[in-house]
Structure 1
Amino acid sequence: MVVDRIVLLSVWFGTILLLVLFTPRKKIREANVVFLFKQLVTWPLGLLVVEFHLIEYPVREFAYATQTSFAFEYFIYPATCVIYILRYPENKSRLKRIGWQLFWPTWMTLIEVVIERHTNLIDYIHWAWYWTWLSLSATFFLSLVYYRWFFRKGIGKAST
């Protein structure tokens, strides 16, 4: 149980560090919009996954309030999505953009699988790694589409 808490705290601090290091100061407003949109998507999806007994989070924050992982659904996935979008290689080749879109859900899925196998933070009940990969890919892409729409990027001239 202590190891699980240490891993959870490490993931929290690692994510905070990533946000601080890779979020440009002049894009804080954009980061907030992306973060909140990703929360809007991941929080209800995370609740559904737990309610349908697909995933279980035996060790979690707020154990009496919710059965889902506050860290993953409410902070870690949205924070990594901020970096994914703000550092997206918009003006690079199609191959680099596709590589970027494949890299992020892949490395996050790998980390989740390692955490699932070696800790009590995540338990796959009726779930598999590819569902995580697909859901991350879909929600990252949806967040990118929303970001582009909200800030009018890729639709004529950018307003920011």
Structure 2
Amino acid sequence: MSKEYIIYIDEIILVIILLFRFIPKDKIREAHVAYLFKLLMTCSVGLAVAEFRLIEYPIRFFPYAIKANFLFEFFLYPAICAIFVVNYPEKKRTLSKFIYYFYYCTTLTIIEIIEERYTDILTYIHWNWFITWLAFFVTFYLSQKYNKWFFKK
């Protein structure tokens, strides 16, 4: 088994543990809505990025069916977004909210940079780390605002 598939398995296990740890039972509905909204965005944007060869995924699940990284676009990223939205510091100051965004976006970007440089999980073609960070920020922002609107009382 290649190191890429070991990384995939580790990421799956880690995200499942994080889901059970950081999503309270009383917020499972919010997590589902955040997951599905993020899935809608990553499905369209992730497929477009792969189709236009901005990023290439040399080793992926379902290589004949989809050019995007199925695991990341359809499970890992939406699940992390669900954790992000459910734990969003709604009543904190603006600086705290920005730090929350910055922490999530930067952590995910660093992981992606490491995977891009040292594995065959992805290869930047017409892409860079700043576009990744910005995409994370915008999609997290849209997901959080959508959930806030959806569950408005």
Normalising TM by the smaller chain, what interval?
over 0.9
2:5 aligned residue: 5
Task: Find out whether 1:99 has 2:99 as its counterpart.
Answer: yes
- What is the CA-CA distance between 1:92 and the residue it aligns to? 1.5
| Match of residue 19 from structure 2 | 19
Measure, in 1, the Cα distance between the counterparts of 2:5 and 2:98. 35
Percent identity between matched residues is: 45
1:12 deviates by: 1.1
Residues paired across the two proteins, number? 153
**Structure 1 residue identity aligned to 2:113:** V
Matching residue of 1:155: none
Correspondence for 2:131: 131
Q: How far apart in 2 are the matches of 1:133 and 1:43?
A: 18
Q: Secondary structure at the match of 1:120?
A: coil
Give me the TM-score of the superposition, normalised by structure 1. Answer: 0.93
> What is the identity, as a one-letter code, of the residue corresponding to 2:28?
I
Task: Quote the residue 1:149 is aligned against.
Answer: 149
Aligned partner of 1:113 in structure 2 is 113
Name the TM-score, length of structure 2 as normaliser: 0.97
CA distance in 1, matches of 2:13, 2:70: 14
Question: How much does 1:102 deviate?
Answer: 1.3
C-alpha distance in structure 2 between counterparts of 1:82 and 1:10, whole Å:
19
Q: Hey, what's the Cα distance between the residues in 2 that align with 1:78 and 1:18? A: 13
- Whichever residue aligns with residue 115 of structure 2, its letter is I
Distance (Å, rounded) in 2 between the aligned partners of 1:29 and 1:89: 18
Question: Aligned partner of 1:78: which letter?
Answer: P
Deviation at 1:62, TM superposition (A): 0.8
Q: Please report the RMSD computed on the Cα atoms of aligned residues, expressed in angstroms.
A: 0.9
**Paired residue secondary structure (2:58):** coil
Matched, 1:87 2:87: yes
Structure 2 gap ranges (5+): none
Gapped regions of structure 1 (runs ≥ 5): 153-157
Give the aligned partner of residue 78 of structure 1. Answer: 78
- The residue number in structure 1 matching 2:40 is 40
- How far off is 1:103 after superposition? 1.1
